[in-house]
Amino acid sequence: MKDRYTPFTIYSMFVATLASLCSGYNKGVMGGVLSSVKQEFQLTPIDESFLVSIALLGGTLGSLFCGYVSDKFGRKAGLTLTAIFFIIGGLVSAFSTTYSILCIGRFIIGMGLGTMLVVVPLYLVEISPELYRGRFVAFSSIMSSLGILLAYTISDLFEDVWNWRFILS
pLDDT tens, position by position, 141-150: 999 999 999 9
Higher-confidence position of 113 and 169: 113
* Cα–Cα distances in angstroms (integers) from residue 40 to residues 33, 36, 44, 134, in the given order: 11, 6, 12, 44
Query: Given this model, what pLDDT does residue 166 score?
Result: 87
Task: Name residues whose C-beta falls within 8 Å of residue 154's C-beta, 6 or more positions apart in sequence.
Answer: 29, 32, 167
Query: Given this model, what pLDDT does residue 58 score?
Result: 96
Query: Given this model, what pLDDT does residue 32 score?
Result: 87
SS3 74: coil
- Calculate mean pLDDT across residues 84-90: 95
What's the DSSP call for residue 58?
H
Whole-number Å distance between alpha carbons of 83 and 114: 12
